[in-house]
Chains A and B, each alone.
Chain A
Amino acid sequence: MADQRISLTINQRDVSVVVEPNETLLQVLRDGLGHMDVKYGCGEGVCGTCTVLFDGEPVNSCLMLGVQASGHTVTTVRGLIDDPEGRALQARFLEEGAAQCGYCTPGIVLTAYHLVRENRRATREDLRAGLAGNLCRCTGYVNILDAIESHLGRSRSHTEASV
């Protein structure tokens, strides 16, 4: 199969790029287009590190081919800076210290952004379930959940453990 030129919208900018038929969306975003805020973690769709929003829905960009993105809209974590809600959510992550090494953070922030837009009343347990596809090895998720709950206008809820 021959290389193919595709057009797509990334962080509200229209771009056009030549991709090889077997290149993943992750490879296209990083090495083709320089979006280094999208990170490789496992290539199996397990860790969620490479999460981007694809037409607004979180996907593992390592499991999609670049050619599948033709005509679609992709948002990376850098794109959230232009969005009031995205910026506000990132501010909560800073306040709560919701990152350590920072490598999973772009994927986690994007998933969190999607979760809060889907459900303003998500419980802590809902958020845990929503984040289950994004692995973090440094934080134990505590401050990440606190940051998202803070963004939803409340301090940590204790709905889960009835001890």
Chain B
Amino acid sequence: MSQLSSSGLDVRTPLDRGTGQVGSSIVHGEFRDKVHGSLLYAADHYGPGMLHGKVVRSPFPSARIISIDTSEARALPGVIAVLVADDVPKNVMGEEASGLGLERIQTPVLAEDRVRYMGEPVALIAAEKPHIAEAAAELVDVDYEPMPGVYDPEDALAGNAPLIHDQGNVLSDWRIARGDVDSAMEDAHHVVEGTYKTQAVDHAYLEPEAGVGWIDVDGVVTLRVATQVIEHATEVAAILGLPHNRVRVASTYMGGAFGGKEDMTVEPFLALLVWETERAVRMVWSRQESLLARPKRHPFVMRYRTAANADGKVLAQDIDIVGDAGAYPYLSPRVLFAAAVTAVGPYRVDHVRIRARAVFTNHVPNSAFRGFGAMQVVFGYESQMDRIASASGLTREEVRLRNFLASGDPLPTGEPVPTVPAVAATMRRALDALKPQSPAENSKLARGRGFACNMQPYGRTVFFGDKASAWIGFEADGTVIVRAGVTDLGGGQAASLAQIAAEVLGVDTSRVIVHIGDTHLTPLTGGTFATRQLYMSGNAVLHTARDLRNQMAPVAARLLGVQTDDLEFAGDAVRTRTGGVELSTAEWVSACGAEEVATAHLGTFHGESGSFDSRTGQGRTFPDYTFGTHAIQIEVDTETGTIKVLDYVACHDVGRAINPLRVEGQIHGGVAQGLGYALSEEILTEDGVSHSALFADYLIPTALDLPDITPIVLEEEPGKGPFGARGIGEPTIAPVAAAVASALEDAVGIRPDRLPFTPERVLEAINSQSR
């Protein structure tokens, strides 16, 4: 196995003599199956005799469990198994999430003596029919004694707040500090303050959580599930008390995930029922279950104090962020860490004090969601930049131009910005492309323009020592198989690997098949999250393909009578650069076989490493960032408070677009999801009881609600992905709400400090302004 390192690589690796596979909007592989309806998703792997799994969930947000009586449920004909906490060999899930050594707070697979949120799993059913499983769930008799709960993260910080876990209500408390904030504030010409509040929202992927499981040859518990992270297999093995090699997780192509399938969903429950019944089991969560009980995006309360000199140059930022973690840790410490690191945005600020806490409440646990903490803060820092602009009498563009990060500038963590930040270029391009403003039809309608800039990390924080492996091999006819443990959320993660392998090996992308996401059959790459997959697995495939080509090249060179440097790999052939002689890829593979030169290779790509000191808040954090600007024009109905989006331009510097069509798709989708966040979506709860457990009550944008989004894909400054690509999955959603806020101020002079900007809230702000 070759060991590759990202250090010492030229960041913009030249295209391998440009065979045209990378950089093309190739429609490949699973895409055709999707449009024809033949792609199988997790719930589709159904066969005769499969049992149906069901989770029995808590109806209370905070209660003691006095007793559980399962006898009536067990007695129902067609019920095969009923499991409670005592039946789980090791009733704990969730690793220490921060990577920086926080105290472990345990998350039970099934609640034992206490429930901490409405929807928490309490028991499991396996039955012969879905409706029998439903009926049995009703018959599980749990005696609950309601307890006082905490439903606001700031309330949870109070000294007399009920404790959600014995260790206290603060899960993590990150601090980043640099310079002398207090002196800078005193010396400043302008100090602006703002408190910004964001809401819980649901991923609302169209495919609810699902999977099937069975016991395979050699007693291997096999789960085929919709998951972003097949590596959870080891955690499932621990829960069952089995060796790691006895649990296999294979991920299907997912019907959307957006971070919501990053923590385990059905896996432990399915595995327990399979293990207990020794039969194949399917578990599909209902939409209502998904809305009720799955992690959401963290609501934040963000308090900003920003100081600037007379020229609008930002001198200092003092920022306090409180995030609602919900009832269990999940990924909250990491989300709040990302928020802390990016809290000042793509600007140079020499004096910073940032505190970001994740606090327990009796809400459903919040966890990963596209944007991952670095999204909420855009609403904070961009609102503050607009306020500095007003205070200093500068345009919103000018104040940003005076503060943008330049190459090599320090971030609040003291580390330099890793690559060249082309944020100014994205701002210019987005604003130039926005349609000119024309007057509204009548005086009740007000039009306005706005924009927001952002920086979003891609890749895991470097102290995790990230790595990804891939195997690439030729078949005798010159076709190629790639094996890599990536999971595909729907963004074309597998297809981009095919394009990269094709580019390097000189074959057409249609001749590459990619096998993904199987802990027992594909080399592990780490999960698809943190916008890391193109960066990590893309590099793994790039370097493994190059090594494979290099190990086979001498055979072709000998046959063609040239040096390996004179070879060209393109068009399903190897030829000399001077033209004339060529070998088909199949002939080349066959010749290698005859000479016993291997035609397959396994390689591992190692991401950067580094350390972070959580006491000082200084050190290395994310490998790199993607920068962008979104510009928007809206029309506000001042009588109803409704906002209509007239035009939307989103520009991101992606370094290099591997597949421009898919990059544009990420931008379209991120903006659409961001507009839902900005304008309509909110998970409403009252004392921990959800009021948004129906899809009819949770409004995601329809075709009528969205404008024709204009994506601008900039290839300005190389990033750290293959061929200089930067990640694009998450950056596209993050600036939307801040851009809408900016346009609202332009249109009607109000600046709500709370999301979403529903008609009621906008109208209230307009009315309070005119009073």
Contacts and interface: CB of A to CB of B under 8 A. Distances in A.
Contacts of A136: 206, 703
B44 A36 contact: yes
B665 A145 contact: no
Given A36-B44, A139-B668, A99 B35 contact: yes
A75 B442 CA distance: 47
Interface string A134-161: 1111111111110000000000100001
Interface residues of B, number: 66
Interface string A104-125: 1110010000000000000000
A46 to B, nearest CB: 4
B155 interface: no
B37 A78 contact: yes
Contacts of A76: 37
Contacts of B43: 40
B255 interface: yes
Contacts of A161: 435, 646-647, 707-708
Given A42-B287, A142-B708, A135 B700 contact: yes
B490 A140 contact: no
The interface residues of chain B, by DSSP majority, are classed as: loop
Contact of A141 (B130, B254, B491, B672): B672
Interface stretch (B25-33, B96-104, B525-533): B25-33
B88 to A, nearest CB: 28
B287 A140 contact: no
Interface residues of A, number: 57
B281 to A, nearest CB: 14
Interface string B113-133: 000000000000000001100
A161 B647 CA distance: 8
Nearest to B436: A163
Interface string A41-72: 11110110100000000000000000000000
A135 B46 contact: no
B144 interface: no
Interface in B602-647: 633, 646-647
Contact of B25 (A81, A97, A138): A97
Contact of B668 (A30, A42, A143): A143
Given A94-B35, A135-B702, A103 B490 contact: yes
A44 B662 contact: no
B669 interface: yes
Contact of A101 (B130, B205, B700, B708): B205
A137 B700 contact: yes
A132 B701 CA distance: 9
B286 interface: yes
Nearest to A46: B695
A72 to B, nearest CB: 20
A42 B664 CA distance: 28
Nearest to B673: A137
Given A46-B696, A132-B702, A143-B665, A99 B34 contact: yes
Interface of A: 20, 22, 27, 30-31, 36-37, 39-44, 46-47, 49, 76-78, 81, 90, 93-95, 97-106, 109, 127-129, 131-145, 156, 161-163
9 contacts: A41-B695, A43-B288, A46-B696, A76-B37, A100-B256, A101-B491, A103-B256, A138-B490, A142-B668
